[in-house]
Structure 1
Amino acid sequence: MTKIKTLIFDFGDVFVNLDKVATLRAMQDLEISQLSEELLLHNLEYEKGLISSKNFLSKYTSSFSKVNEHQIVTAWNSILIDFPKYRFDFLKKLSEEKKYKLILLSNTNEIHIDWIKENVPFFEEFKTCFDAFYLSHEINLRKPDAEIYEFVLNKHHLKPEECLFIDDTKENTNAAEKLGIKTWNIHPKHEDVIDLFTVKKQMF
């Protein structure tokens, strides 16, 4: 059996707890009941870092005249709940053991990361635990596009079969599997990343 040498982690609902419908609820509270195809595309472009936070927010305030930037930022960040420190402790120990190359690969955006920086006191130390830390808005790529996985594999000269990718979105793990990467499609309601070596012990 091929030995796992690299662990590739998602961020949201792997380390940070999310309430994925919270933003939709918050938008509805602002009387934004439905997003047009144009706005949904706008959101994806923002996640890829193709537009600035300023442009992202101005699109919403111009589309919905009753809302201001602060309200949009609050609604946008309502998806983020917390980052339990025991998960950071797990990762830190893993980093110190130096048995695996550790990579973070996350679809995220500047507004969300700004919230993380303000609300997670150990975020900078968390980042240093990784050999590479990739956020979609910084590399202009996003999951589940094949290009983002190929970027990581090529940049670090990785063999797909020696990588284990942990992500809570089935679409993302399916895309990685097509490239030969081993995966754990984690279910955040009843699984936890700290149990990696128990749940996936057959891979180690």
Structure 2
Amino acid sequence: MIKNIIFDFGDIFINLDKEATYKELAKLGVTNISEDMIVTYHKYEMGLISTDEFVNFYKTKFPQLSRESLVNAWNAILLDFPKRRLAFLKELAGSNKYRLFLLSNTNDLHISWIQNNWGTELYNEFKSCFEQFYLSHEINFRKPNANIYEFVLSENNLKASETIFVDDLKENTEAAKELGMQVWNLIPGKEDVVDLLKRKEFLV
């Protein structure tokens, strides 16, 4: 039985709702999504380019669209984003079935991105859903060369067999498997972590 869920920071925060994205683009008449548009979209998700840079890119692809309409479209996506995440996490946290943990395997890029787009109040509300929030570089500073996943398990007295790790990177999930954890491996661009509740292994 699953009692603990460790989420990768990026999959909770950065995988924006693809359906909402395409819905907003469709409203503007954008129906054919090209590869370079997808690449730019992912860069925007990861906080690597600003809204202005993103809008400028789409303006060159679709000059008939006004700058205002593009800005409004992306603002609509960003506003819808936290509602889905918070509703999902609050349902999990409020069920009292699981202990929830958040692990960042990267740096502070995701944190600054989400704080800038959500604001402090929503960000703090989000963080409150988790029993503990870890940054991998802080773990490495406290315990050099430590296995991050093993550290989280041991510090919280978690049994690996009762713990699931949610991520989209093979090397991370393989490391979790080696410790005896179960994994939920997301398919980037196709699956959304919000769909987690629909999977039969969580309906216990």
TM-score, length-normalised on structure 1? 0.62
- Equivalent residue, structure 1, for 2:190: 190
Instruction: Report the alpha carbon displacement of residue 87 of structure 1 after superposing the two structures with TM.
Output: 1.7
Identity %: 49
SS in 1 for 2:10: coil
- Equivalent residue, structure 1, for 2:176: 176
Instruction: Report the alpha carbon displacement of residue 174 of structure 1 after superposing the two structures with TM.
Output: 0.7
Report the Cα distance in structure 1 between the residues aligned to 2:133 and 2:50, rounded to whole angstroms. Answer: 21
Tell whether the 8 Å contact from 2:47 to 2:113 is kept in structure 1 after alignment: no
With over 3 angstroms needed to count, the CA separation of the structure-2 counterparts of 1:78 and 1:138, relative to structure 1, is farther
With over 3 angstroms needed to count, the CA separation of the structure-2 counterparts of 1:111 and 1:188, relative to structure 1, is closer
The letter of the residue matching 2:195 is: D
Report the Cα distance in structure 2 between the residues aligned to 1:79 and 1:147, rounded to whole angstroms. Answer: 34
Shifted more, 156-165 versus 130-139: the winner is 130-139
Report the Cα distance in structure 2 between the residues aligned to 1:132 and 1:162, rounded to whole angstroms. Answer: 17
- Equivalent residue, structure 1, for 2:55: none
- Equivalent residue, structure 2, for 1:136: 136
Identify which of 3, 6, 10 aligns with 1:5.
3
Question: 2:55 matched to 1:84?
Answer: no
Where does the alignment leave 5 or more consecutive residues of structure 2 unmatched? 17-36, 52-73
Report the Cα distance in structure 2 between the residues aligned to 1:192 and 1:104, rounded to whole angstroms. Answer: 17
With over 3 angstroms needed to count, the CA separation of the structure-2 counterparts of 1:171 and 1:92, relative to structure 1, is same
- Equivalent residue, structure 2, for 1:93: 91
Tell whether the 8 Å contact from 2:43 to 2:49 is kept in structure 1 after alignment: no
With over 3 angstroms needed to count, the CA separation of the structure-2 counterparts of 1:167 and 1:79, relative to structure 1, is farther
- Equivalent residue, structure 1, for 2:15: 17
Report the Cα distance in structure 2 between the residues aligned to 1:123 and 1:196, rounded to whole angstroms. Answer: 21
Tell whether the 8 Å contact from 2:196 to 2:202 is kept in structure 1 after alignment: no
Output one character per residue of 1:35-54: Cα deviation in whole Å (capped at 9) or x when no partner.
xxxxxxxxxxxxxxxxxxxx
Of Structure 1 and Structure 2, which has the larger fraction of its residues in helix? 2
The letter of the residue matching 2:100 is: L
1:26-41 counterparts in 2 under 5 A?
none
With over 3 angstroms needed to count, the CA separation of the structure-2 counterparts of 1:107 and 1:118, relative to structure 1, is same
Question: 2:121 matched to 1:124?
Answer: no
Instruction: Report the alpha carbon displacement of residue 146 of structure 1 after superposing the two structures with TM.
Output: 6.7
Aligned-pair Cα RMSD in Å: 3.3
With over 3 angstroms needed to count, the CA separation of the structure-2 counterparts of 1:25 and 1:102, relative to structure 1, is closer
With over 3 angstroms needed to count, the CA separation of the structure-2 counterparts of 1:76 and 1:178, relative to structure 1, is same
Output one character per residue of 1:13-66: Cα deviation in whole Å (capped at 9) or x when no partner.
33322799659989xxxxxxxxxxxxxxxxxxxxxxxxxxxxxxxxxxxxxxxx
